Structure 1
């Protein structure tokens, strides 16, 4: 193809990894699917031998041997073109989008499962986040979370999820949308239903989303993000020449208004999806990380959670038409794989930058910045109102774990009303009856029983008996389950004696 100076530049296909390089990466990716594979290496402090460590070492090797250019890699989850530098990844995806050759991205889990991502959308104008009312809204949600604690100070995932999704709807849509739980479900389903395999289902959920959002867009709550998004897109939606002059120009203006309405609908849905994800997942993970450094700024805890546990850990971008980028011929049906943790020199915790931990579309994302802000202020409000303790998993042994599923995370919040979560014994307050401690003991017994059942269920899962190491870990789990069950029985008998 001709270059800027008139010379011809050769177009070539991207380099392919060697068979051994593919095998090493495949083994590392498969190892991340096994719950015990990294345990020996982490116990010895040899992080370089974990699945993540091996992956990073291999990618560093590829950057050295391939001059940092994208490489085709074969994995158990498919064949991908993998950019090795953040700048190349963004430039490659932007070029594909400009050529109209890029499909909407999908997420890729460590187990190889693909799932839909919220489509990126935002008005072209500058969007200002809600101002003075945000701390008050967060303070109310923090008070609600504290009221939903058990007697021992622990939080149930469903209670946390319910409060945080309600806060997300309140912040994005306003007071009228706070209790619209169906809207959150419609947003999730619309994002998960990709247009390629099932266009009818995609169009049906997109229409349902438009209907569900319509009442909140007609008269936006002034104290909501929706109102600010509408203001940012106002010029594009209805202030063009066509809107003022009529005639043919008026028809164009009507088209601009329709396009602006579509953009606003998509932008509100995207903001709601990202704020909900940041509050339900990232904020709880950040609260757990904050327990290791209580004196640190909550902003650092949220940044650490986004960096260690990005909601969009990897995204796949399918190319539907061939195009050329910097002398590389990218063919149709190529799948580009981008993972924030694989690109050196990038801090996925910085809100708005790409690769983002929340949004898969290359470029700036205002919704990501806003979602990170709300998560930071929520963690700040929680840590100001109570002291957090992580009951499970143990975050003090060897640093944060490789994964931290918020659904299995058990966090307790201790304040003046609840002190059972304190890690060191405290003298009983004067006048407290033994029966009050019996109630707390019964709650602890129930939690021990639940923990024992969970360990036993994990031990019964498939995959442990493939080799001697897996079988050994299975027996360890069963032993822990038996001890937890015995402890629960002892605590319950003590509780019964206290209550009598």
Structure 2
């Protein structure tokens, strides 16, 4: 196959895709903003016409005849070099990283917006993340923090997402920086703000503010926290602060949404998953105990959650210096796109490095492995103490409503069931709008200009709730029919 750049040679540039290939690839990127667009195909079981099916066929076409070499694709979000498989992408990026050819990576949102990632920083000196306590010590820290989260479940037994996120941020600060930092909510906000500014003008100022905030905790690290071995093995300097901030960001990420999705998987189809995988016997052939079986299922659930819903959904790596890899020369100014969703799911037996789900560093990240370990402890502890609960109308997290029975282990749910839930939700929105209007009618708002402003805010919110109720009620009628 000859493309615009001519036949490939040892010193050739990457091939440029044909216009139709650019169009189809761009459509695959844009379609992710509309997750329900392929609902008819999913409902009818036409897997080849779903977004995943069409994307798989497109990537298979792009792989043909290229022998693992990346192809240059023009999209509405930019022009990218796209390796054809996960293995090719990881090999290409590792080669670029070894050559020092990569600039600061950034995330690529579904709408094309680029956002900063927590910079991967390794402090000077020798230190090992696995040296941080043992599984028992980490399990004790997790067990201390979880009751505040699991004790605040809703009436139906499900976990509140906002409370979960707040609890996991507290747990992350405790594990990484110690008990004194556990209640420092501003610290987590500053870590997020610095990560969002990575690669931009505001980063240095936010990083300096973050170092000042962490200084008291790192001056004399509390025994048992991750910062202890990092500080004792490192030689100090700004790298230590940024490395600890990176650890805090990754532990917070792993214990947040991925852990909650893992619990959803355990509740929705954990039994079927366990049956399909089988109980894992040890080296002597003995079957695991009930507790060990729960732990194994919890670990598999978190791995699956990170695989299907990685924290880093798509990463753009700018090339700042030329380098050679896979038979082509990658020039400065190119951008390499690593998007696991486009490259297909991991094949059986393929090794997965947690860095690819949590951290943008192509040569691996030790604290990413530690963050996954903390996430597993969280899922194990919750699954062992509180049976995961999913609402009665259940479906797998990677299937839309109406197709819940299309994956093994899921429970089929008719669309009419969601219609009934929609009507109930519309009624709640109506009641909320009425309560807001009643509050706005109180004469206590009459006394000042600020009171009148609050009244206008209440009435505007009541109007939005009423309009939302009407939309939900309309959708519920369609689902019921």
TM-score range (shorter-chain normalised) is 0.7 to 0.9
1:299-348: per-residue Cα shift (whole Å, max 9, x none)? Answer: 01101101111110110011123333344222222110012334467479
Residue 449 of structure 1, aligned match among 428, 453, 460:
428
* 2:409 is equivalent to residue 401 of structure 1: no
Residue 242 of structure 2, aligned match among 257, 266, 281:
266
- The normalised TM-score by structure 1 is 0.71
Q: CA deviation at 1:362?
A: 0.6
Q: Does the 8 Å contact 2:354/2:369 carry over to 1? A: no
CA–CA distance in structure 2, aligned partners of residues 448 and 171 of structure 1: 43
* 2:219 is equivalent to residue 218 of structure 1: yes
* 2:116 is equivalent to residue 121 of structure 1: no
For residue 229 of structure 2, give the secondary structure of its aligned residue in structure 1: helix
For residue 291 of structure 1, give the secondary structure of its aligned residue in structure 2: helix
Question: In structure 2, what is the equivalent of residue 491 of structure 1?
Answer: none
CA–CA distance in structure 1, aligned partners of residues 369 and 352 of structure 2: 5
Question: In structure 1, what is the equivalent of residue 304 of structure 2?
Answer: 304
CA spacing shift, 1:151–1:363, aligned 2, 3 Å? same
Gaps of 5+ in 1: 1-8, 238-259, 405-443, 462-473, 485-500
Question: In structure 1, what is the equivalent of residue 410 of structure 2?
Answer: none
CA spacing shift, 1:350–1:276, aligned 2, 3 Å? farther
Q: Does the 8 Å contact 2:14/2:71 carry over to 1? A: yes
Q: CA deviation at 1:263?
A: 2.7
Name the Cα RMSD after superposition.
3.5
CA spacing shift, 1:41–1:345, aligned 2, 3 Å? closer
Q: Does the 8 Å contact 2:316/2:337 carry over to 1? A: yes
Question: In structure 2, what is the equivalent of residue 42 of structure 1?
Answer: 42
CA–CA distance in structure 1, aligned partners of residues 471 and 176 of structure 2: 46
Q: Does the 8 Å contact 1:348/1:354 carry over to 2? A: no
Within-5 A mapping of 1:64-463: 64-123=64-123, 124-127=126-129, 128-131=131-134, 132-195=136-199, 198-199=200-201, 201-231=202-232, 233-234=233-234, 237=235, 260-295=236-271, 296=274, 297-343=297-343, 346=346, 353=353, 356-391=356-391, 394-396=393-395, 399-401=396-398, 449=428
Q: CA deviation at 1:475?
A: 10
Q: CA deviation at 1:276?
A: 0.4
Q: CA deviation at 1:72?
A: 0.7
Name the stretch that deviates more: 22-31 or 307-316: 22-31
CA–CA distance in structure 2, aligned partners of residues 60 and 458 of structure 1: 46
CA–CA distance in structure 1, aligned partners of residues 186 and 337 of structure 2: 33
- The normalised TM-score by structure 2 is 0.73
Q: CA deviation at 1:22?
A: 1.5
For residue 356 of structure 2, give the secondary structure of its aligned residue in structure 1: coil
Q: How many residues are paired up?
A: 394
Q: CA deviation at 1:453?
A: 8.8
Q: Does the 8 Å contact 1:104/1:318 carry over to 2? A: yes
1:1-51: per-residue Cα shift (whole Å, max 9, x none)? Answer: xxxxxxxx7411101111222212222222221243021111122233222
Q: CA deviation at 1:483?
A: 10
For residue 263 of structure 2, give the secondary structure of its aligned residue in structure 1: helix
CA–CA distance in structure 1, aligned partners of residues 109 and 265 of structure 2: 22
Name the stretch that deviates more: 162-171 or 376-385: 376-385
CA–CA distance in structure 1, aligned partners of residues 465 and 63 of structure 2: 39
CA spacing shift, 1:324–1:305, aligned 2, 3 Å? same
Q: Does the 8 Å contact 1:304/1:349 carry over to 2? A: no
Q: Does the 8 Å contact 1:349/1:357 carry over to 2? A: no
CA–CA distance in structure 1, aligned partners of residues 132 and 430 of structure 2: 41
CA spacing shift, 1:88–1:151, aligned 2, 3 Å? closer
CA spacing shift, 1:458–1:357, aligned 2, 3 Å? farther
Q: CA deviation at 1:152?
A: 3.5
CA–CA distance in structure 2, aligned partners of residues 47 and 320 of structure 1: 40
CA spacing shift, 1:357–1:159, aligned 2, 3 Å? same
CA–CA distance in structure 1, aligned partners of residues 430 and 30 of structure 2: 27
Q: Does the 8 Å contact 1:275/1:371 carry over to 2? A: yes
Q: CA deviation at 1:480?
A: 4.3
CA–CA distance in structure 2, aligned partners of residues 460 and 28 of structure 1: 32
Question: In structure 1, what is the equivalent of residue 4 of structure 2?
Answer: none
